[in-house]
């Protein structure tokens, strides 16, 4: 019997792609239960690069999303979670599945050598986030003429800075009005614009790009996460927490999950020792654990030994390919 493929490339960031294609998946859906049961309405998650943050947000999107198919019926994503930990969480968690419109954004490309370039890339991120809601919002009678015009300005990338700062709030109001449901906001790589602006300023004395980026990103985040009565859950991910500049001011004390957090019931992003041992056993190379541990056991998060998923998957792929080549006639 052939083994499941090991995740690779862009597919490693697509939850539905992994599940549809039968690719090996390390079950991290316990975070869904944690988020709901801990009643963490807003959660900021920080992990180093290549630790599955984007995959987790795609998983949350698949779990929470309420959207209609071509026949106007709610899409049922339950099949993607069959056999996974979240399905054992009980009705208090499972009743949240498929209940909320989801606004999903990524700031991974929001950067530039000038403030105008950063604003332009933010407009592109907003445009991308609108695409999932075109069918629901465009020309819907529940939106007034002014609101339709505003939505089209987001789609045409013509919104000015003031309008961009209202985007998340506007979308939540419109989606709530049409569906009578609260909204989930998922923001990936929120810190990229700030990191890159800080590096730019470091190499260009006199530049104020970082200060300007903080104002832009802080205002944008605030409209969706500060005192938003239409928000069901909000999850923000990045490599680091930017606290000094008060990016998260007024967000009602968001739950923060960083590398020092000790109250997690499990490690929901990196691979634990048990995750690694199960994977090695599945591929018939469990005798390689000591080598893998020596090479890739480089992190302690919240008192747990953690392996970097990206590095580990590449290493196991290489080991599996080597074994397969060795046993060929």
Overall pTM surpassing 0.85 (yes/no): yes
Q: Nearest-CA neighbor of 296 among 275, 326, 325?
A: 275
- Residue 273 burial (C-beta neighbours within 10 Å; 0-12, 13-18, 19+): middle
List of domains in the chain: 10-257 (3.40.50), 273-327 (no CATH)
- The Cβ-side half-sphere exposure at 161, using a 13 Å CA radius, reads 12
Q: Which pLDDT score, from 0 to 100, does residue 251 have?
A: 67
Instruction: Report, as ranges of residue numbers, the positions in the chain whose pLDDT lies below 50.
Output: 325-329
The reported pLDDT for the residue numbered 326 is 47
The span from the CA of 321 to the CA of 315, in Å, is 10
| pLDDT score, position 58 | 97
């Amino acid at each position: 019997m052939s083994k499941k493929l090991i995740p690779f490339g862009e597919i490693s960031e697509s939850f539905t792609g992994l599940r549809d294609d039968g690719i090996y998946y390390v079950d991290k859906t316990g975070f869904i239960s944690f988020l709901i049961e801990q009643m963490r309405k807003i959660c900021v998650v920080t992990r180093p690069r290549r630790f599955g943050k984007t995959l987790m947000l795609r998983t949350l999107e698949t779990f929470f999303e309420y959207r209609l198919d071509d026949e106007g019926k709610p899409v049922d994503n339950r099949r993607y979670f069959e056999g996974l930990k979240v399905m054992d969480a009980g009705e208090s968690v499972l009743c949240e599945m498929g209940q909320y419109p989801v606004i999903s954004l990524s700031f991974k490309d929001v950067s530039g050598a000038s403030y105008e370039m950063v604003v332009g890339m933010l407009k592109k991120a907003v445009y991308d986030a609108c695409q999932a809601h075109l069918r629901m919002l465009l020309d819907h009678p529940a939106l007034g003429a002014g609101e339709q015009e505003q939505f089209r300005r987001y789609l045409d990338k013509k919104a000015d800075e003031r309008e961009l700062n209202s985007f998340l709030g506007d979308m939540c109001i419109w989606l709530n009005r049409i569906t009578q449901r609260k909204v989930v906001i998922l923001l990936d790589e929120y810190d990229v614009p700030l990191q890159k602006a800080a590096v730019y300023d470091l190499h260009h004395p006199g530049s104020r790009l970082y200060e300007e980026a903080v104002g832009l990103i802080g205002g944008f985040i605030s409209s969706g996460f500060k005192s938003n009565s239409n928000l069901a859950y909000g999850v923000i991910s990045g490599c680091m927490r930017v606290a000094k500049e008060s990016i998260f001011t007024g967000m009602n004390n968001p739950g923060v999950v960083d590398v020092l957090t000790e109250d997690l019931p499990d490690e929901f992003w990196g691979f634990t020792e048990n995750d690694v041992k199960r994977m090695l056993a599945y591929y018939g190379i469990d005798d390689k654990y000591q080598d893998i541990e020596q090479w890739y056991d480089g992190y302690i998060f919240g008192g747990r030994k953690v392996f970097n998923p990206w590095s580990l998957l590449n290493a196991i792929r290489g080991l599996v390919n080597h074994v397969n080549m060795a046993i060929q006639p």
